[in-house]
Structure 1
Amino acid sequence: MSFEEKRAWIYAVVALLVPAGYFVVVLGRLRESSAAEVAYVWPLLIATGVAMVLNMVATIAAGAASPKDVGPRDERDVSFERQGERVGFYVISLVVLVPLGLAMAGVEQFWIANGIYLAFVLSALASAVVRIVGYRRGF
């Protein structure tokens, strides 16, 4: 497995696990109070920071574990990344329409903010999956 494919796997795992933990915590708070009263800002900021740090640390660890795999990216790496980013852009462009509609409908900020976060998460997952499929099967 190339280093760039490892990076795609790391990105996918982090983009799946961290938001899952965030949504378990925050949506669990909805049982106790209404959406307007749920404290979601700090958990959202923490989840974002944790995801960035985990991604960096795991990428560095993967590079340290197999330094011979780390090297210049080739044309295939660039192509897979470009295709993944393109699909991620389409996903976020479509999914963000939901929180936009919620904002226009005057729904609580809780739902709008979490809808936007979910759009980013789905975009990241789609991007990573496209890159992984590219490495596994080609385009």
Structure 2
Amino acid sequence: MSYEEKRTWILGVAAGVSYAIYLIVVLTRARHTALPEVAYVGPLLWAVGGSIVASIVASIAVSIGSRDRDRRDQRDREIDRRGTIVGNGFVVLGAVAAMVLAMADGDRFWIANVVYLGFTLSAVVGAAAKLVAYRRGMWPW
């Protein structure tokens, strides 16, 4: 497995795990109060920050033992580009959903969570698209 593929695994898993932990914390807090009234800002910031730190630490750990970390070829660049395009669609969907919620005077809780879900789906789906390309080759799109 190449260094780029390992990094893709790290980023996708870190995004998914941090979002799952965030959901567990928020839903646990919502047992005694309405969901929009839950204190979500702290857990959200910790989840995002934890995901970033975990990704950096894991990428450094992988790069220490990797001989090919400086060998990024045209195939790696093309896989990265196409996977990023797939993932960016979810950022756009999350932004549009947040905009619609804001125009409809939606609660800040829902707006923030739609944006965070969009970012998480972008990272996870983008990573999945890249991993499929690494395993099965480039597909025509």
- Report the Cα offset of residue 134 of structure 1: 0.9
Give, in angstroms, the shift of residue 28 of structure 1: 2.1
Gaps of 5+ in 1: none
Does 2:11 align with 1:16? no
Q: Percent identity?
A: 46
Structure 1 counterpart of 2:116: 117
Moved over 3 A (4+): none
Question: Residue deviations 1:39-93, cap 9 Å, x none?
Answer: 11111111111000000000111112x2313222100110010001111111221
Residues 86-132 of structure 1, C-alpha deviations (whole Å, 9 max, x = no match): 11111221233222222222121111101110000001111101111
Q: Is residue 29 from structure 1 mapped to residue 29 from structure 2 by the alignment?
A: yes
- RMSD over equivalenced CA pairs, Å: 1.3
Contact 1:35 1:111 in 2 (8 A): no
Number of residues paired by the alignment? 138
TM-score, structure 2 length as denominator? 0.91
Q: Is the partner of 1:14 in helix, strand or coil? A: helix
CA contact (8 A) 2:14 2:54 kept: yes
Residues of 2 paired with 1:8 and 1:44: CA distance? 22
TM-score by length of structure 1 reads 0.93
